[in-house]
Amino acid sequence: AQSVTQLDSQVPVFEEAPVELRCNYSSSVSVYLFWYVQYPNQGLQLLLKYLSGSTLVKGINGFEAEFNKSQTSFHLRKPSVHISDTAEYFCAVSDVGTDSWGKLQFGAGTQVVVTP
């Protein structure tokens, strides 16, 4: 069984400051990892994904994440945030190669609030 833990429910940050959102997962099989962003009253938009290859992945809007297999983590970072980055961010995992491949297990989310 999988589980995804987002360690911070809310992260306040000043505009132009860096931000890091933490995500840890557990799974008995190999996983693919994703970060999604949700703006108020909207669906989820994919920020970035890790499937294989380089453990540092870059996504849209200046976000990047690093996969750490030994620590089972996939933390999301942005070096300088904008007011428009205020949103809810979700980490998600999917089993690789099982009958349930593709199905996403989400964390509880981290609300990022950017202030001037």
The DSSP bridge partners found for residue 115 are 14
Range list of β-strands (E), the chain: 3-6, 10-14, 19-21, 23-26, 31-38, 44-50, 56-58, 64-68, 73-78, 87-95, 105-106, 110-115
The minimum distance between CB 49 and another protein, in angstroms, equals: 6
Q: Which is nearer to another protein, 7 or 104 (CB)?
A: 104
Residue 69 is classified by DSSP as T
* Site of interaction with another protein (CB under 8 A): 4, 6, 32, 36, 41-46, 49, 51, 90, 92, 94, 99-109
The minimum distance between CB 5 and another protein, in angstroms, equals: 11
**Nearest Cα to Cα of residue 22 among 4, 39, 40:** 4
Q: Which is nearer to another protein, 33 or 114 (CB)?
A: 33
The minimum distance between CB 9 and another protein, in angstroms, equals: 8
Q: Which is nearer to another protein, 108 or 113 (CB)?
A: 108
